[in-house]
Amino acid sequence: MTRTSSTLGSALRAATAAPMESALLKHGIRAAVRTASYPDTMLVLAALLSAVAVITAAALKATLLAGPPARLEITNFRGRVVPSVGGLVILMTVLVCEALLAMAALLKPVGLSGSRAFSPAAIPDTFVSGDHAGFILLVVGFFALGLLDDLAGSGKDKGLRGHLTAMKQGRLTTGAVKLLGGGLIAFVAASLWELRIFPALVDALLVALAANLINLLDLRPGRASKWFLIGWLPMVLIGWHQPWAPLSAVVATAVIVWIGTDLAERGSLGDSGSNLLGAVLGAGAALVAPTGVKILLVLLLGALTAASERFSFTKVIEDTPALRWFDSLGRVREEN
């Protein structure tokens, strides 16, 4: 009887595992998570974590501006030296909220009641999802690469061409490490939510190019934060029910708390912050857009990256009235 039961159990497990594996390979981890998702749970998580993010980011901002870490400062376009701690504010806010989410997941609230659309039991599934793991990897990884540039970058080699030229001369710049490392981290993260090589490569390119673009835009107070929020809003409206949405809302909340300081020129995102924001923006596009749209976005971002080698985005913005108005919105007026 025992042997028969064991054999029958093995057969049942094999029969159920094969379709599940096939579904994962066909649709990716994301699709498997979505089928069991509770959309209202994502909204509740986003609201709760954003509330925590407001308090956390405000406290971190006040503390870091009062006593910024050594060497975390930049000279802005007006020649003013400001602390570049915005990225640290965003990262630490994300990590605090991530710790709370981990605690909620470990409590395993499976016994709590919930509706079809809302259930506390969805929290552990969200925490272990491929979307979530990839998102956290991108936030920490791209922050670290940007921080390396903030602390050790010389600023002598500009743009993709400058970094490639330096490599031909036998010099590995921090910018080159950021580009190469960003591509590798993006591919690993994309592999956590895609199980096929081509979609993972497309997602990795999208994330890396988005991070580079936001980094290129961060030449005036508040510019990178503004374009991040403009890009983030439509993506979260589309993907609000997905596991990556609550933590992306934490990032956006921290940016909103920080942006006033940036616009007033009392602090800067630094490469660590702009790199992080670009990666989050790329991840959002990778997680909500169909493959065709993602390929178009990769081509567009690639074209913009190539154009940045020849044209100044700042000059284009200043020469375009609508862009100039948006860019200057909330900023300190130029002194005559």
- The 10s digit of each residue's pLDDT in 259-269 is 999 999 999 99
Residue found under tokens 């900023």: 331
pLDDT at 334 over 80: no
pLDDT at 188: 95
pLDDT at 7: 44
Residue 182: burial class (beta carbons within 10 Å; 0-12, 13-18, 19+):
buried
Cβ neighbour number for residue 117 with a 10 Å cutoff: 14
pLDDT bin (cut points 50, 70, 90) of residue 72 is confident
pLDDT at 183 over 60: yes
Rounded Cα–Cα distance for residues 243 and 135 (Å): 10
- The 10s digit of each residue's pLDDT in 303-321 is 998 888 888 888 999 999 9
Q: Are 29 and 129 in contact (CB under 8 A)?
A: yes
pLDDT at 1: 44
Rounded Cα–Cα distance for residues 116 and 103 (Å): 23
- The 10s digit of each residue's pLDDT in 237-254 is 988 888 888 889 999 999
pLDDT at 168 over 90: no
pLDDT at 139 over 80: yes
Domain parsing of the chain, residue ranges: 29-328
- The 10s digit of each residue's pLDDT in 1-23 is 444 444 444 443 444 444 434 43
Q: Are 243 and 126 in contact (CB under 8 A)?
A: yes
For 159: left if phi > 0, alpha if psi spans -120 to 50, otherwise beta; the answer is: left
pLDDT at 20: 37
* Assigned token pair, 56: 């956390």
pLDDT at 85 over 90: yes
pLDDT at 105 over 80: yes
- The 10s digit of each residue's pLDDT in 47-64 is 999 999 999 999 999 999
Highest mean pLDDT among 42-51, 156-165, 277-286: 277-286
Between these two residues, 160 and 17, which has the higher pLDDT value? 160
pLDDT at 205: 95
